[in-house]
Structure 1
């Protein structure tokens, strides 16, 4: 299973690098992948 979400964060100094046009806020993206054996992999984009 794969799922991803955007998590709202405080405005960083490099303002445009983390701005989400979709959410209209500053955000970072997190994606979780779970294998059929139950292993969890987490990827976070800053």
Structure 2
């Protein structure tokens, strides 16, 4: 069963979309990490 591997030849549009998704995910994680740090600071200061 030999399946072609199209993932080795992503179109520019596809790779652009993937890069965008990754960027969004990283930004989301960075934001949530910052929020957690802020919460930790607040709980420590009280």
Alignment TM-score > 0.5, same fold? no
TM-score range relative to shorter protein: under 0.3
Could you say which structure has the higher helix fraction?
2
Larger Rg: 2
State TM-score, norm by structure 1: 0.21
Which structure shows the bigger proportion of residues in strand conformation?
1
